[in-house]
Structure 1
Amino acid sequence: MVRLTQQLSLEQRLTPQQILLSTLLQLPMLSLEQKIKTELELNPVLEESDELEEIQDEELEIEENAEEVEEIQEEFEQLEENNKSEEEEMYEEVEEDINWEDLINDESTYELKMPSQKDEDEYERPEVYHATMAEYLLNQLRLLNLQEDDFRIGEYIIYNLRDDGYLDPEVTVENIAQIFNVTPEHVERILKMIQQFDPVGIAARNLQECLLVQLEAKNENGEYDTAIRILKEDYEDFVNKRYEKIAEKLDISLDEVKKAVHEISRLNPKPGEGFWDVRQNYVIPDFIVEKVDDELVISLNEWNMPGLRISPHYLKLLSQARKLGKDVRKFLRKKVESARWFLMALHQRRATMLKVMHAIVEKQKDFFEKGPEHIKPMIMKDIADMIGMDISTVSRVVNGKYVQTDYGVFELKYFFNEGMETADGEEVSTLKIKERLKEIIENEDPNKPYSDEKLAEILNKEGIPIARRTVAKYREQLGIPIARLRRKI
């Protein structure tokens, strides 16, 4: 007998606004610029312009006559045909539940600003580099001519790729399906499309999938069948190099196994790595912190980004909604709401970014005033507690972002390091310990390099209580080999 039971469970679901803000927070400056350009392409209601000049121009252009209304109606019918959404019902529900005027607080424009103390002529524009991985993949995504909602899913996947090209393990197909209110199969289909982009294997969820995607993409005549079979049927033995076992299990010769392994070894295990190698040569800071009149001034570096607003032209048309057809009116409302979401999220991103940066500067004031040797121990929880935000929010702001200081450009992650209490009761940063360790090794006798045990002994005599195992870990992180390999022959 089948027994039916009921079970209640609580499930947190992100709103479209939360999804958008979360995405924007994790984007560094150059990726945000690309995101804004993409939004301008997708939403005709958003425009890039000088607000006052454009409003004056639009006032001259807008005339309330039947001919223009008919012309705009035809324009929107064409736009609607190209942008049919599978989620229209969801948007309608959201529209009924939200008071948009209260939500956006009349923030219908977004102006990106440079530091006020910098004169435009004095500001030295950073060197521009070639396309980032995200830009390169987004350009390929556009070529598919997907419906807008599918494009958003693909865009979300691309912006959640790690530096090596793999999909962030915390971002699962099921999570994405829940966020966009579609089936996991729907998301899987779009993910598979992206995995076929150049470089093939991008957006894989693990090494096995990455290698399989690459093999299957070039297996036109079946020449890679054995390699594919090994990865699918006996991946564990492949990873552990148990080739005889593979041959026995798959009933093939050892030579066939070795040939297949050679083919697999020629694949790219980190498809995104090349892009990020290029990017590292062209770091553009997201923040600028400088001392002006004995005060630290913090600003977002928004030099090359356009200001945004909702077009007065389309707002005027929306006020004449009765003259437009039902479908056009519905499409126009959806686009205006989407634009307001985006503008509000940009304002919130700016506020959150600056809030986090102000807290970092407050905590690391000695660093910004006196230099890197004065860095203090600090973890993300310290900043989260200071500003009353979740650690995950702080992490999104920090990840992949850089700050320009009077002492050079630093990755924000640089400021987060744990500390250790010295014999004098003073807390010292692990970064300073590593610097001291590196200094000791650089000044050692090359004929008799120090062992990890001896290095630990030296540091302990200097008042830093550290174990040999910790010294070994720090030495490896610094890329310094063991004593035997450092010995001069």
Structure 2
Amino acid sequence: MSNFNLENRLEQKQLLIPSLLLEMKLLQMNVLELDTYLKEISEENPFVDYEENMDALSNYLQNQSISTISANEVLDKVFSSNETPYEFFKNQLNYIDASSQEISTALNLIPYLNDYGGLSKNLKEISVELSIPYFMLENAKVILESIEEDGWGYESFKELALIQIWLSDKVDSDKLFDFLFENFDNFTQKKFNILLKHGYKISDIEYYIKLFTDIVFLPSIDSGIKEKYIIPDAVVFVKDGRVHYNCIEPYKVYLYTKNNPENKETENNPENNSSNIVELPLEDEISKNLKSDSQLKKYYNDAKNLKFALQSRKDAFNIFMKHFVILQQEFFFKGPAFIHPISQKDFASKIGISESTVSRIINEKYIDTPFGIFSLKHFFSATYNKKEGLKAKSKTQSRTVIIDEINNIIKNESRDKPYTDEAIVELLEKKGYNISRRTVAKYRELSGILPANLRKELKK
């Protein structure tokens, strides 16, 4: 008995690492990607069978009191979403906390975007062509850059990289931003000897290279906008004055990984298992061949890993949704104007999971709500803390608000005595915004505004 238990423990340890890797991979997939992946695996692995479960898409509509949308309408909107670039940005801007004038100005920049999301002309030229003040276009560009944290509307690769890193919630992204803020050219031109002379270690540089490649990417209008097929991962609805959700799983997976089932008759009848992950018993002959056939053993272990990873993905997503609908319940009752913005880091801390897990969960995933289909990323924005006097109460606001405040302060400053970054910090504190001088400098640089001494020279 003890030898049997020891073998089981060793086998579990051998399965642990590949299972965790697969778990992270599956967690990052949306339901459509997962469905495709499972189809491919079932074709390769004899221990895995796949079955379509399209009823899962419309089960939540069986009770007509739940929704006024018909099943056909759901299927229509779930499977096709074909947008022009203008329609895409117009739709995304509906989720941004900005005035109608700011949104209109941002839309004026769309025709100037090239295939990779950058501006084909500099902002000053566009300002002249459109007869729109430069500062208004600056604000509009900041709004575009924040959409899905992609950095749309950048004027240089440096600007694109810094924006994406600044908006990222990845661990140490703030350190990477500070590093690149001072060393961008040396880093991107691979002048590593200069960086070493500045006191950076080889391990630091290697870490920043990995972090940079994880965060920075070139957005593409062709692949990211023009055509997108969507199946929401969950449906959220209001019934009897309460918010409910159902996860959509348009697949059923049968895994032949169970040894010595207690009730073979029950296990062999899939209808007795309501889960979409069904474990079935091995045939005696196949079970005997596992020890002698290494390839068969590999398929078997892969199937067991898949079982653990699928269940773990399911559990993690359910934990996420359980807390998510509570946080956003005002939105589900009243609409987009009542979205509660929160960072991935803060939400992860709130529900007791890692920030990287939250990042994987919301990656390319959508939810169907009473107000339409939304990307989960729309609910997670980069944020800062606004303190009201000495009270502990705080509000979460988007970065665009504080950038506007800085722009307004500088716009109305004295020609002879422009505000230093320290002075701007003090003025912002009086308005209730608690940020550091370095943060003010970063926002000012990102907005293309010169420091006080250079602004004074220009105004002479």
Scaled by the length of structure 2, what TM-score is found?
0.46
TM-score by length of 1: 0.44
Q: Which has the larger radius of gyration?
A: 1
